[in-house]
Structure 1
């Protein structure tokens, strides 16, 4: 995972499809309710219950990032069961967790999350097998002649353990350079080449879990058009080489200051591949220094506009390309942004489980008539 450049970096330590025909309050009623709440001011928005669960409003599974400790929080689990239909382990399915410091394998936390998802009728999305940020000490301690086998074995063990339990995997996370100027150099690329390690990871994951949707996942793709273009060229190149990429993951850590239309443009370009698209880690921080009410209101207006655009752009995709729409945290206090100091409102619910202004932006964006979405796209 990775936020926009202006937000703090998150702490490093920190299978069953639901029916697509969802029932609930008609979209027009949800929209009118959301507009009425918004007109009453922020306090009224937060105090009022959601008109309908997000999972009944969004035309795709609605996901959220989760850590094992949250499963012991009754308030979190109650809210998640009401609103959410897919879970992504935030950290505890990454290599840094699974490869324990003593050299063993740790699956207690991801197994617990998988069990909760299954018991709650939720899909599970795997995050993430290969990431430039993790595994260097382990990998470089292996003799060069054994590294290819070790790389393959890691994927076989982890993806194989959850075979048939996951809807999809983030196979390679954040392969594109920070500024979009080419690809990252890392321990994986030093061994197999910049395209080579990615292609190898996808081939090994396909062998380990043949039915999962396999994603190349990255961040700032909407925020930085140069990076988005580099990412899409990478997808095109890998597909041409035969890599089994079957999904595009765009994290969606939004810089709310980007120009209107930039999100829609990236989504349109990404959709041209015909692959499922996962908005995989959405949040929209307003930024520090928001004690002044006028500044807070201005930042909230930007947040609302960008989140509405994102919801409309995703809803405008063909149904078969709407894999899931995932929030990177359920309540504001769950966000890595607020772990660094607090005070922001980047998510759909406040700490008491009440809908935020961002929630209402999602309601309005997903409730926009198809003709409006088409015109804006």
Structure 2
């Protein structure tokens, strides 16, 4: 079984040039001298989280680091439809139950991920063969059963994941939109989730919002439109798989625009790869330059998040806790064993971007 199937063919990052100005205070942040990272949850005046998977629950070193640094856990794969939905509209929530129980037993709050995603479910929810009436009924049943199973146990849910087109030009067509309408499938998902778990914060979650301004703008317009249609959206999830080469200020601009909607914001899947995705030109940047770019952009994100009103800071979550936990290094992911895209190295020691985040959180 693949450990993290949803991340295999993803993430076309914007390849924008960047100039690290001498006045960029964050880029000049020193490397961390202390080999022991202070607990991130003690530095953040809001929940700090990371992802977890069932196989990690059996690793004492991962458990130790997770409980040391995190106050929130996001199931990385166990709640995706690929795992929970079987042929003939059968369900299996066993792995999800195990991750949620681990969090409960260890005093971690849980953020659910993800209910409806364009990338999954089409093999069972086949809009070409399943009659529309049954499609709609099974759609409602899946959401109400899944979300309702954890009623009162989840802080929030990613109800609809990645509805915006890759380049930000409109929305993605998928089996959900063909059967239930482009806006209709999203409104319906939020309505069903609200009925099933009325106290959870319900999120629309998307990636490349900071990396591609056009996509960020389309996403925020979608949130506004769905709210006007009555969708009970309670929060905005920005995945923040950061392209470390984007121009300074671009992250801040998106966060400011997102904040104007007044909803809680979740930095939901943060990582910041040193290696470029795609492209045909050799990457001539030195390791020091890549690290400086990481520090600058991650520091900017943390500062922009801290600038939000307190009520809008839902949580700050990294997609994996240590470099060795990242989907980027795993063979079934990007298969980059030397990638370093998280705040902690494989031994749980602070990477350079850790200090920029720690300083931002304590201002």
Tell me whether the two structures share a fold, i.e. TM-score over 0.5: yes
* Shift, 1:60, TM fit: 0.8
CA contact (8 A) 1:4 1:254 kept: no
Q: For residue 152 of structure 2, what is the aligned residue in structure 1?
A: 164
Q: Choose the corresponding residue for 2:211, options 202, 220, 223.
A: 223
After TM superposition, the runs of 4+ consecutive aligned structure 1 residues lying more than 4 A away are 291-294
Matched, 1:298 2:268: no
Matched, 1:124 2:110: yes
CA contact (8 A) 2:88 2:124 kept: no
What is the CA–CA distance in structure 2 between the aligned matches of 1:292 and 1:173, rounded to whole Å?
Answer: 31
* TM-score, normalised relative to structure 2: 0.88
For structure 2, the 5+ residue unaligned runs are 1-5, 15-25
Matched, 1:69 2:55: yes
What is the CA–CA distance in structure 2 between the aligned matches of 1:227 and 1:53, rounded to whole Å?
Answer: 34
Write the mapping of 1:134-213 to structure 2, written as runs, cut at 5 A: 134-140=120-126, 141-213=129-201
CA contact (8 A) 2:87 2:124 kept: no
Q: For residue 287 of structure 1, what is the aligned residue in structure 2?
A: 275
What is the CA–CA distance in structure 1 between the aligned matches of 2:353 and 2:180, rounded to whole Å?
Answer: 42
59-68 vs 136-145, which moves further: 136-145
What is the CA–CA distance in structure 1 between the aligned matches of 2:83 and 2:58, rounded to whole Å?
Answer: 19
What is the CA–CA distance in structure 2 between the aligned matches of 1:288 and 1:244, rounded to whole Å?
Answer: 37
> What is the CA RMSD across the aligned residues, in angstroms?
2.3
What is the CA–CA distance in structure 2 between the aligned matches of 1:184 and 1:215, rounded to whole Å?
Answer: 18
Greater helix content: 1
CA contact (8 A) 1:64 1:329 kept: yes
What is the CA–CA distance in structure 1 between the aligned matches of 2:171 and 2:285, rounded to whole Å?
Answer: 41
Q: Deviations over 1:7-55 (max 9, x none)?
A: 9xxxxxxxxxxxxxxxxxxxxxxxxxx999x74x57x56xx101x3100
Q: Deviations over 1:157-207 (max 9, x none)?
A: 100100000000000000000000000000000011111100010001001
For structure 1, the 5+ residue unaligned runs are 8-33, 370-377
* TM-score, normalised relative to structure 1: 0.84
* Shift, 1:4, TM fit: 3.8
Write the mapping of 1:20-99 to structure 2, written as runs, cut at 5 A: 39=30, 44=33, 48-50=35-37, 52-99=38-85
Q: For residue 12 of structure 2, what is the aligned residue in structure 1?
A: 5
Q: Deviations over 1:103-125 (max 9, x none)?
A: 53211111111111111111000
Q: Deviations over 1:134-155 (max 9, x none)?
A: 0001011533321110000000
Write the mapping of 1:248-327 to structure 2, written as runs, cut at 5 A: 248-287=236-275, 295-327=286-318
Q: Deviations over 1:275-294 (max 9, x none)?
A: 110000000001169x9997
